[in-house]
Amino acid sequence: MLAIMIGVTACATPAMQSNVSETVEQQILDAARSGSQGYLIVEGLTTEVGQRLAGTEAEARARDWTVEKFKEIGLQNVRVEPFTIPGWERGVETATIVSPYPQQMVVTALGGSVATPFGGVTAEIAYFPTFEDLVSAPAGGLDGKIVFISGLMDKAPDGAGYGPANQKRRSGASEAAKRGAAAVVIRSVGTDSHRFPHTGQMRYAPDLPKIPIAALSAPDANQLERMFEREHSVTMALNIQPRASGDMPSGNVIGEIVGTERPDEIVLISGHLDSWDLGTGAIDDGAGIGISAGAAQVLIEAGLKPKRTIRVVAYGAEEVGLLGGFAYRDLHKEDLINHVLATESDFGSTPAYEVLLGVTEGQEVIKAAADALGLPMGERGTNGGPDIGPIAALGVPTMRFQQDGTDYFDLHHTPDDTLDKIDPDDMAENVAAFALMAWLAANAETDFRSDTGN
């Protein structure tokens, strides 16, 4: 026994100064870190399905693929919980500077945007360096114009720049419509300087005209700004022809490791299955599917039987408004009281640098997992992830591994979101974190559900 302890001590990494018992937990970490369970899942999904736009037949194929994969890795109770969403699909999209410097730009429609009139709209551009400049512009004065909203996004590990930069994507169309504009182009919400536009969902405010909105790549936004440095009047022809395709099927794919002692109590780990249509949805969010399902696979392969049920959810239709997350909330409303802990990976494939708490009870279990992984606890709280938000709002306890998203928005929602951007070792580390956390939460004697929750 002494010899074994010495051996363990000699092999221990700095991350292993923990009070986690070293037998099963270390076995989980080792199996995940030396395996490629998560990477192979995202590799399969992105290769064999590719893009998976919500509501399309591609997303349906992704559900079929995931059902098969979940069964293959040994999950139980594999099923799809279907729901219906408003479909939207991309069409022709072109942006041309007509004058003073005729040239094509690289553009993509934002999700949910209406089309321009057939053949497009040609108009003078009204340039706003930032979204705030548009919001503070007086009513009127933009009649019939194409509004261009620029503004840079800051890089940050936690993606803190996304919210502010995203205002123009979310609300740019209605703010411009309010002032009479005919259409909007924005500088892509992103942190790269490649000639890719970033798509993403937009929203129309009620009671305002719906006008088309599209995103230019960063180099094209720079180009437009240089034109405005030279000339007061720049005219663009914008033609985007996306279409609303009516009610379309989506669904959440679910699989479980049924608990041995408290099977009704759920530890939920998840990612989202749908992607935008420009890339193959590798970092957003094939990675999250691989991380959560791969974590379950590690436990199954090790023959480990958790006391509570570990549920893996592959949410549908996240990109278009967390529709899978809301559908889950609605379908499981009566059952949410049994959700002990929930989390999601939806921030790429790089490993976590801190752990965030969305619980008041049972923090010691999450801290033990963080210790075992060598991760500090973060200061901020969490709602567990985008699709967890709706159930977190009703009291489901959550935690989150805060993955390093410094470079996430270089790729996010672009054609460049492809498998080659994922490091298999990163995936393995994330799988280790999810497997360990799920295991500890499923077996913890303490509960995460406070009396005031639910």
Site for a copy of itself in 20-49 (CB under 8 A): 43, 46-49
Looking at 111, 212, 279, 397, which residue binds a copy of itself (CB under 8 A)? Answer: 279
3-state secondary structure of 143: coil
Q: How far is the CB of 59 from a copy of itself (least distance, A)?
A: 13
Q: How far is the CB of 172 from a copy of itself (least distance, A)?
A: 23
Contact 303, 229 (CB under 8 A): no
Determine if 226 is a binding residue for a copy of itself (CB under 8 A): yes
Q: Phi and psi dihedrals of 309, rounded to 5? A: -80, 130
Of the listed 265, 318, 319, 354, which one is catalytic? 318
Determine if 422 is a binding residue for a copy of itself (CB under 8 A): no
Looking at 60, 80, 85, 106, which residue binds a copy of itself (CB under 8 A)? Answer: 106
318 classed as catalytic: yes
Determine if 233 is a binding residue for a copy of itself (CB under 8 A): no
Determine if 415 is a binding residue for a copy of itself (CB under 8 A): yes
Q: Give the C-alpha separation, 403 to 375, whole Å.
A: 11
Which of these ranges, 103-111, 137-145, 292-300, 354-362, lies near a copy of itself under the rule CB under 8 A?
103-111
**Residue 263 exposed, middle or buried by CB count within 10 Å (0-12, 13-18, 19+):** middle
Residue 366: alpha-carbon gap to chain centroid = 22
Looking at 207, 247, 379, 420, which residue binds a copy of itself (CB under 8 A)? Answer: 420
Contact 270, 313 (CB under 8 A): yes
Number of residues that bind a copy of itself (CB under 8 A): 36
Determine if 424 is a binding residue for a copy of itself (CB under 8 A): no
Determine if 219 is a binding residue for a copy of itself (CB under 8 A): yes
Q: Give the C-alpha separation, 220 to 29, whole Å.
A: 45
Site for a copy of itself in 62-101 (CB under 8 A): 97, 100-101
Site for a copy of itself in 45-64 (CB under 8 A): 46-51, 58, 61
Q: Give the C-alpha separation, 318 to 324, whole Å.
A: 6
Q: Which is nearer to a copy of itself, 197 or 397 (CB)?
A: 197
Contact 197, 219 (CB under 8 A): no
Place of tokens 């957003």: 284
Report the half-sphere exposure of 162 (CA within 13 A, side-chain side): 17
Residue 251: alpha-carbon gap to chain centroid = 16
Determine if 223 is a binding residue for a copy of itself (CB under 8 A): yes
Report the half-sphere exposure of 84 (CA within 13 A, side-chain side): 4
Site for a copy of itself in 320-359 (CB under 8 A): none
Q: Which is nearer to a copy of itself, 50 or 263 (CB)?
A: 50
Q: How far is the CB of 220 from a copy of itself (least distance, A)?
A: 8
Report the half-sphere exposure of 248 (CA within 13 A, side-chain side): 21
Determine if 249 is a binding residue for a copy of itself (CB under 8 A): no
Q: How far is the CB of 27 from a copy of itself (least distance, A)?
A: 31
Report the half-sphere exposure of 207 (CA within 13 A, side-chain side): 0
Give the contacts of 217 (CB within 8 A, at least 6 positions apart).
Answer: 105, 106, 107, 188, 194, 195, 196, 197
- As beta bridge partners, residue 121 has 238
Determine if 281 is a binding residue for a copy of itself (CB under 8 A): no
Q: Contact positions toward a copy of itself, by CB under 8 A?
A: 43, 46-51, 58, 61, 97, 100-104, 106, 193-196, 218-219, 222-223, 226-227, 230, 279-280, 414-416, 418-421
Catalytic residue list: 318
